[in-house]
């Protein structure tokens, strides 16, 4: 029969068989593709199940962590449990939070930021501040009882500008207090102070550096610390940190052995200050403070404060050397305590891991609190708070200048201030990005700003 088929018919039959064979191949390929898709589907379901289970386990872990904090932690859990409490537990240490603190506030070292931290710490933890009578100046040099606020001879915390007086402060701060301060590289501190305190207006010149040179040539500054301890227009500028810490300039110049006089001061300072922080390592200093004073992450958060928009520089080696020559006392002080700072850091296991966590937390909180910036006090950055930031005590308190913060507390707490004066006082504090009188009296302190900053995140991705 095959022989009876024509050639065209045989060709058509051959093509038909080929097409059938091809279909079977396509079918096998399709089946293989379907099998792969089924496997992918199974894998997708599996990955979803694993991810969901992991999230549940993390949630259970956080709940149990907060429970452990509430039951076992040595520090009080005063706010609603949340992310901040959980992350704090990761760095839990058996210690008791420091109740009584003396801070020696130095000039142009970042000390205003630390004062703000201590003011907030007192407000949130219900600790009293040793304050002056309203309205005070933050630049009192000598501490005397007559300047103290009416009705509060003793307190938990002192964090204002004043030449350090150990006997006075220890008699007005409750027992078991700890004392600390912060120092900055003296040449950098001089340049910052010269700009911030507008010394260029006293020594007008074409450039910032030329103004400094005029300062050196004036008022017999070449005799400073050799024949005289007086230095005109040097207040808060030259050897300011040493003066803030109570160094006796007159005694130094009159001493028969000035090197020994300075050495004795450094030895005494080492015994007096429990901790000395360093501006150049500011965040690390705060984490060290947190550990030594048994604080929480929320206690050491900060927003930048009084930071110059235009930062003046000096380039000539002669000028820098002259600054260092005048700053010889502060340089000795800085070199001594910079060395002790690193010895203290070396004792702290895991401190750099904790530093990395703190910097991430602080950055997230800053993003939550702040939405922009503007020119503020004396040509410094001023933050513009977000709508959420203006509703949170920590955000708005972090953004309040120390002087305003202190005066609001003085007006609230000084029994000598007539209540009839409060409406007038309130009119002086109307900046929406800073505390006002109503907020310092009534604003809720219990909301944890770290929890709010991470409100829309289930976990913190490190």
For every one of its 462 residues, what pLDDT tens digit does the chain have, with 9 covering 90 and above?
Answer: 444 545 555 455 555 545 545 555 555 666 777 676 677 767 777 677 777 766 676 555 555 544 443 443 333 434 445 667 677 767 767 889 999 999 999 999 999 999 999 999 999 999 999 998 888 765 556 788 888 888 888 999 999 888 999 999 999 999 889 999 999 999 999 999 999 888 999 999 999 999 999 998 886 677 788 878 888 888 888 999 999 999 999 999 999 999 999 999 999 999 999 999 999 999 999 999 999 999 999 999 999 866 766 778 898 999 999 999 999 999 999 999 999 999 999 999 999 999 999 999 999 999 999 998 887 776 677 899 999 999 999 999 999 999 999 999 999 999 889 999 999 999 999 999 999 999 999 999 999 999 999 885 544 444
Instruction: Give this prediction's pTM.
Output: 0.80
- Give the pLDDT score at 460: 42
* 3-class secondary-structure state, position 62: helix
Express each pLDDT in 141-174 by its tens digit: 678 888 888 888 899 999 988 899 999 999 999 9
Place of tokens 């150049």: 280
Contact 349, 269 (CB under 8 A): no
Phi and psi for 89 in degrees, rounded to 5? -65, -30
- DSSP string of 63-80, one letter each residue: HHHHHHHHHH-SS---S-
How many angstroms separate the CA atoms of 437 and 63, rounded? 38
Contact 363, 370 (CB under 8 A): no
Phi and psi for 275 in degrees, rounded to 5? -155, 135
- Give the pLDDT score at 364: 94
How many angstroms separate the CA atoms of 453 and 319, rounded? 46
Contact 110, 279 (CB under 8 A): yes
How many angstroms separate the CA atoms of 439 and 272, rounded? 37
| Sheet strands (E) in 89-208 | 101-104, 157-158, 178-183
Phi and psi for 387 in degrees, rounded to 5? -55, -40
How many angstroms separate the CA atoms of 29 and 11, rounded? 27
Q: Which DSSP helix (H) or strand (E) runs through 86?
A: helix 83-90
Contact 131, 409 (CB under 8 A): yes
- Give the pLDDT score at 169: 94
- Give the pLDDT score at 60: 58
Contact 360, 289 (CB under 8 A): no
Taking only Cα atoms into account, the Rg of the chain, rounded to an integer number of angstroms, comes to 33
Contact 337, 278 (CB under 8 A): yes
Residues comprising the chain, all counted = 462
How many angstroms separate the CA atoms of 305 and 399, rounded? 8
Phi and psi for 189 in degrees, rounded to 5? -65, -40
| Sheet strands (E) in 279-380 | 370-375
Indicate the angle between helix axes 7-72 and 83-90, nearest 10 degrees.
80
Which residues have CB under 8 Å from 51's CB, separation 6+?
none
């Amino acid at each position: 029969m095959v022989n009876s088929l024509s050639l065209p018919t045989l060709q058509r039959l051959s093509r038909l068989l080929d097409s059938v064979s091809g279909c079977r191949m396509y079918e096998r390929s399709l089946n293989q593709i379907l099998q792969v898709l089924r496997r992918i589907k199974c894998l997708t379901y599996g990955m979803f199940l694993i991810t969901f289970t992991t999230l549940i386990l993390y949630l259970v872990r956080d709940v149990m962590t907060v429970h452990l904090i509430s039951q076992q932690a040595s520090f009080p859990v005063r706010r609603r449990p949340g992310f901040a409490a959980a992350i704090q537990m990761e760095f839990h240490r058996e210690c008791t939070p420091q109740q009584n603190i003396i801070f020696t506030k130095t000039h142009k070292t970042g000390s205003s930021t630390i004062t703000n931290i201590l003011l907030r710490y007192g407000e949130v933890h219900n600790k009293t501040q040793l304050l002056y009578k309203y309205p005070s100046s933050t630049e009192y040099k000598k501490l005397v009882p007559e300047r103290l606020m009416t009705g509060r001879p003793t307190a938990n915390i002192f964090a204002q500008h004043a030449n350090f007086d150990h006997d006075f402060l220890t008699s007005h701060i409750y027992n078991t207090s700890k004392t600390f301060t912060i120092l900055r590289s003296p040449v950098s501190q001089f340049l910052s102070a010269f700009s911030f305190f507008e010394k260029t207006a006293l020594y007008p010149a074409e450039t910032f550096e030329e103004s400094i040179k005029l300062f050196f040539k004036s008022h017999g500054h070449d005799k400073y610390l050799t024949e005289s301890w007086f230095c005109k227009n040097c207040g808060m500028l030259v050897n300011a940190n040493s003066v803030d810490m109570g160094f006796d300039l007159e005694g130094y110049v009159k001493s028969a052995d000035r090197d020994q006089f300075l050495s004795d001061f450094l030895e005494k300072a080492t015994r007096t200050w429990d901790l000395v922080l360093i501006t150049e390592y500011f965040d690390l200093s705060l984490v060290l403070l947190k550990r030594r004073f048994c604080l929480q992450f929320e206690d050491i958060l900060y927003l930048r404060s009084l930071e110059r928009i235009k930062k003046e520089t000096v380039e000539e080696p002669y000028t820098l050397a002259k600054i260092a020559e005048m700053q010889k006392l502060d340089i000795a002080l800085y070199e001594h305590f910079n060395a002790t700072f690193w010895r203290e850091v070396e004792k702290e296991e895991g401190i750099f891991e904790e530093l990395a966590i703190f910097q991430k937390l602080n950055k997230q909180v800053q993003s939550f609190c702040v939405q922009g910036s503007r020119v503020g006090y004396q040509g410094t950055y001023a933050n513009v708070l977000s709508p959420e930031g203006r509703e949170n005590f920590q955000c708005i308190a972090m953004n309040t200048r120390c002087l305003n913060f202190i005066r609001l507390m003085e007006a609230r707490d000084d029994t000598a201030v007539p209540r009839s004066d409060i409406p007038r006082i309130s009119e002086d504090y109307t900046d929406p990005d800073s505390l006002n009188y109503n907020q310092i009296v009534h604003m809720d302190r219990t909301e944890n700003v770290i929890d709010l900053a991470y409100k829309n995140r289930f976990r913190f991705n490190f």
